[in-house]
Amino acid sequence: METVEDVTRMHLVGGNLALDFINTRTGPPSGPSDDDVLTGYPELVAWGAYAGALSEAEATALLRLSRNDPDGARAAFSRAMGTRDYLDEVFRPLATGGTPSTPALARLRDDEADALGHAQLESGSTFAWVWRDDHTLARPLRPVVHAAVQLLTTGALDRIKGCGGCRFIFSDESKNRSRRWCSMDDCGTTEKMRRYVAARRSRATR
Ligand SMILES: [Zn+2]
């Protein structure tokens, strides 16, 4: 059983909020995932605060809201899992040179329209969408959905890659586009260890 603490021990390696949201499901590079850090609405909120989608004050207010409306929180969590599924269907094909499915893109369009309907434009160095006044249980997903659209419309799609050792997806921001692992501490180290053991074995049998 994952706990809220597990959510905040994850490595955020996607380089984009939507990719990090997809990466809350873990497992081997292909086939079904074998673990999920998001097990309920409180974990979704904890992840949102950890990943920078929510302020601590917003997270606290959402947890209070969810305790007062458990049915609403369950429905919001179920919708969030559906969002993660279709985001996966958008970005996983892009990581392997494929094309996202049309229904997945249509769902993203609808959710982005809903997200912007709950946002305000706030001035800074440029104007930005903010969801400060959105006090609905869907609030954690707003910036995730918007980050997905931003990446699709303004990002370098050929930088989107899947890790060689697990199912994580990331945007490769390295200069020579040579990144192969979600993180050198995890899959990169595992791969180095595997090569080291293989090399020793082949030396021993020579
Ligand atoms: Zn990995």
CB atoms within 10 A of CB 85: 13
- Point out the least confidently predicted range of 30-39, 91-100, 115-124, 187-196: 187-196
Which pLDDT score is estimated for 2? 53
Higher pLDDT, 138 or 200: 138
Evaluate if residue 10 carries a pLDDT over 90. Answer: no
Q: Report the mean per-residue pLDDT for the chain.
A: 92
Average pLDDT over residues 10-36: 92
| Amino acid type, 78 | S
The reported pTM is 0.90
Distance in Å, CA 182 to ligand 1 centroid: 4
Percent of the chain topping pLDDT 90: 80
pLDDT of residue 188: 82
Contact 150, 12 (CB under 8 A): no
Distance 129 CA to ligand 1 centre (A): 31
Residue 175 confidence (pLDDT) above 70? yes
Distance 135 CA to ligand 1 centre (A): 35
Q: How far is the CA of 90 from the centre of ligand 1 (A)?
A: 19
How far is the C-alpha of 84 from the C-alpha of 98, rounded, in Å? 18
- The CA 165 to ligand 1 mean position distance, Å, reads 5
- Tens digit of each residue's pLDDT (9 = 90 or more) over 73-83: 999 999 999 99
What is the per-residue pLDDT for 189?
Answer: 83
Residue 3: pLDDT band by 50, 70, 90 thresholds? low
DSSP secondary structure of 93-154:
HHHTT----HHHHHHHHHHHHHHHHT-EEEESSSEEEE-TT--STTGGGHHHHHHHHHHHHH
Give me ligand 1 centre to Cα 181, in Å. Answer: 5
Cα 27 to ligand 1 centroid, rounded to whole Å:
9
The mean pLDDT value for 100-105 works out to: 96
**pLDDT given for residue 194 in this prediction:** 76
Query: Rounded to whole angstroms, how far apart are CA atoms 17 and 39?
Result: 19
d(Cα 49, Cα 17) in Å, to the nearest integer? 12
